[in-house]
Amino acid sequence: MSRPPKTTKQMAALRFDNRFTRILPADPLTENRRRQVYGSCYSRVKPTPVAAPRLVAYSPEAATLLDLSEADCRSKLFTQVFSGKLQLPEMDCYAACYGGHQFGNWAGQLGDGRAINLGEIINSRNERWTLQLKGAGPTPYSRTADGLAVLRSSLREFLCSEAMFHLGVPTTRALSLILTGETVERDMFYDGNPREEPGAIVCRLAPSFIRFGNFEIFTARNELTVLQQLADFTISTYHPHLGEPSPDVYLQWFNAICRTTAELMVHWLRVGFVHGVMNTDNMSIHGLTIDYGPYGWLEDYDPNWTPNTTDSTGHRYCYGRQAQVAHWNLAQLANAIYPLIGETEPLEQALSDYTAHFDQGWQAMMAAKLGLVAYEPSLDRELIQELLRILPEVETDMTLFFRQLALLPMNPLAAAMTKEEQIAPLTSVFYRPEQLTHAYTNRLAAWLDRYRERLRKDNQSDEVRLKRMHAINPKYVLRNYLAQLAIDKVEQGDFSLVEELLEVLRHPYDEQPGKERFAEKRPEWARNRPGCSMLSCSS
């Protein structure tokens, strides 16, 4: 193994614990060839060294999780280590074995096909973080793929991971985005037109990257001893407060996963995020957003919209179905851990509790988005449902609608205004003003009247309500066209837009004078441009 160059104090002090590989069963074979891996939680494999790694950007906030300074992150060693070119002595690199249901069908073994874990560190606050390189080369789980990643998908994951964190959405984190100095051939839309694209690697962080599919694979193969080993490891490492593993503790653990998953779905719906590929192998047992593939932000409010070209017919993973899909995925996890519990009823109750927890969370979230003090079913159920029926009638920018709604004055003279005057503060949020028919204008104005009446019951000042609404409704989200503009610039050797977007997305709820262009509606030129609306799984 190559000896790393001289390092700074913090890089040298990274404390690797590597509990996952110390405790769980390893693949007995060491050869890095595509194959089925049985009876093992992981295979040891090292990243493929790259030609000429070049740092595009790093996240200072994510770096603090590893106790790394700016000097560390801008060092040559940092770029070499987090591109996979060099390994630190205490790293124990591996790819995990897991399966999964993809688009509702069992897919068998999947695994880390282009993600390689460098190991787990314990930081100065005694927090555990797993470091993972995405796009670092082939593993035994790569199937027919090359294990690499291109700039466009890597940049999107890097920026969105950090954007979601600052939005308050549970997520894996992104430490760095590094160009490999090599090209990768990809057919973006699987239409027989491949091209060479810049290769890139993201280093991402999470307490662990354990997914629902990590458990599914062992139950599907009847490898129940390994299933229990993995469950016991997960509980003792991440839920030690639950006590020694037992059927009751396994059930408590599953209940916790159901709760955190429900909370995650509420957050996604709050900010208008659509994951695009909610397969069970893309569901974290920590309730984190994981695997940023063909995701998108709900610009035109259409609950049936999916950003994934592969899902364009079935819309399985569209915005409006995400909570239901999460429930289905949890049911697959319940099936996987059933052998550890041996009873169906408590698992079914946990799934029922998921639904109740989500419903309560969603109601409270929608009330907060509207600036209400609290959700009151008799007053708010129909008010919210009518709004959700109105929004899809014309192309309405979801993010901007709720920001502008906060500016609506509690004007007692509103009844004397024309319908057009009443909706005037919202006209800037519509993509096609010609869709604003007389009937639609009347319907929206009537809803605004009811909304003002409901607000009067809370007896808040306009200033207080605006502050509360702007604290939950972001102004800045990583719209797909913004990410594409950054990709275009990096391909030309200009990294400035990545840094500027990273800075803007650190403060998504603030006004940020001079940055308003990043909060504008999707421009018309981006409506159908590749990368600016729908995306494929190609990466």
The neighbour count for residue 494, using CB atoms within 10 Å, is 11
The neighbour count for residue 88, using CB atoms within 10 Å, is 17
Residue in 72, 281, 291, 397 annotated catalytic: 281
**DSSP-assigned letters across all residues of 146-177:** -SB-BHHHHHHHHHHHHHHHHHT--B-EEEEE
CA dihedral 290, 123, 44, 139 (to 10 degrees): 30
How far is 472 from 342, CA to CA, in rounded Å? 42
Per the document, the length of the chain is: 539
The one-letter amino acid code at 537 reads C
Task: Tell me if residue 494 is catalytic.
Answer: no
CB 409 within 8 A of CB 462: yes
CB 333 within 8 A of CB 347: no
486 contact partners, CB below 8 Å, separation of at least 6:
155, 159, 497, 498, 501
Residue 495: both structure tokens together: 């990294």
Residue whose structure tokens are 């079913």: 377
How far is 230 from 64, CA to CA, in rounded Å? 29
109 contact partners, CB below 8 Å, separation of at least 6:
36, 37, 97, 98, 99, 141, 217
Catalytic residues: 281
